[in-house]
Structure 1
Amino acid sequence: MTKKHRHFLLYKPWGVISQFINPAKRKKILLGDLYNFPEGTMAIGRLDVPSEGLLLLTTDGKVSATIRSTKFEKEYYVQVDGIISNTEIEKLKKGVEIGFNGKKYITKSAKASLLKNVNFPERSQKIRDERHGPTSWISITITEGKFRQVRKMTAAVGFPTLRLIRVRIGNIQLQNLQSGEVVEVPSLL
């Protein structure tokens, strides 16, 4: 008898660790604290603790490996410090130099654009207020996923990331999921 795998979409809130086990044993919120996932569930890729947005979970290792491949685009909405210009957007598209594993790395070409009228609920931890200067929102779509890559990319062009929300993986979109909400789906592919 073949095991029936289960698949989930999660809007990972700010402050949650994208793991089921906390190796540091600190008092942090883990994925298993958000929902009663079945045994053997794994997150497909990760979002770091201060990042939010779409996280896919599955009990199927083959599905996980396929989605983590470079065939699947990952799109992020990123709030950056300052008013970013088209010059920096073009640099992001072409690829920028970041540090990865103690070495310099040039990111693969990406899709990037300026966003207007981004409307996400306030984060549980306030980012900052208008006294600290203006911010802008951009969309960045990548196919690779180096450690903290998007944050490093925006910093490389002089605009540090203030808030990062993954809105799409492949054809799966965050849509109307609310922060912390989990939805079981029949398939991820």
Structure 2
Amino acid sequence: MTRLFLFKKPFGVSSPFTDRGSPTVRSTLSDFTEAKEVYPAGRLDRDSEGLLLLCDNERLQARIADPRFRMPKSCLVQGEGDPQEPELERMRRGVLLEDGMTLPAAVARVDEPNPWPRDPPIRRRKLIPDGWLRTTIRKGRDRRMRGMTAAVGLPTLRLIRWLVGDWSVAGIAPGQFDVFSPTGNSILR
């Protein structure tokens, strides 16, 4: 029976189970679970927080992580600066980065969502405002959303992945898992 783990990844935790070769000791998934034969379905960098999916089914893992399937991933992004419509429109059309053009993102300005406390807290500048965005992308690559916000002049201060497909981090405490078995085979097709 397939098991899917929804993990609310804290800031500073690496997505792999080990961090071999790092000159410094870093927190990894193995610090939070002893589950065997489960693997991350995608990545979430150390500086990002929120939903990371793990599963024990290779087909489901590929369906979630493979960019060909373009599963939507939604984040709350706190950016430095005051997001205005021209910056948001650039992200909606796609942004040119060093490795090429990004796909368009769904993006909207939102009121501060009152997220869980982060350790350490983000830096705040008295003279520079910050604002929150709700974003959805369907094809992510290494630090894609951070690159997009920086390219439009709104560098990311905090990134919280809230949704992957229909799965949400709502109701899960930071550093905790919710485990369930998906029903049916529709997601595996």
Q: TM-score, normalised by structure 1?
A: 0.91
Shift in Å at residue 132 of structure 1? 5.1
Q: Distance in 2 between matches of 1:76 and 1:56?
A: 14
Aligned residue identity for 2:169: L
Structure 1 residue 127 and structure 2 residue 122: aligned? Answer: yes
Aligned residue identity for 1:76: C
1:77 is matched with 76
Structure 1 residue 7 and structure 2 residue 10: aligned? Answer: no
Question: Structure 2: where are the runs of 5+ without partners?
Answer: none
Q: Give aligned-pair identity as a percent.
A: 33
Aligned residue identity for 2:63: T
Shift in Å at residue 61 of structure 1? 0.9
- The residue correspondences of 1:59-78 to structure 2 (distance < 5 A) are 59-69=56-66, 70-78=69-77
2:103 is matched with 108
2:92 is matched with 93
Residues 128-176 of structure 1: CA deviation (Å, up to 9, x unaligned): 1352521100011001011100000000101100000000001111112
Equivalent of residue 16 in structure 1, options 13, 17, 20? 13
Equivalent of residue 46 in structure 2, options 46, 49, 60? 49
Runs of 4+, deviation exceeding 4 Å: none
Residues 112, 131 of structure 2: 8 Å contact kept:
no
Question: RMSD between aligned alpha carbons?
Answer: 1.4
Aligned residue identity for 1:174: V
How many equivalent residue pairs? 181
Aligned residue identity for 1:52: E
Q: Distance in 1 between matches of 2:65 and 2:140?
A: 8
Shift in Å at residue 41 of structure 1? 1.0
Q: TM-score, normalised by structure 2?
A: 0.91
Q: Distance in 2 between matches of 1:71 and 1:121?
A: 28
Deviates most, 25-34 or 126-135 = 126-135
Deviates most, 123-132 or 11-20 = 123-132
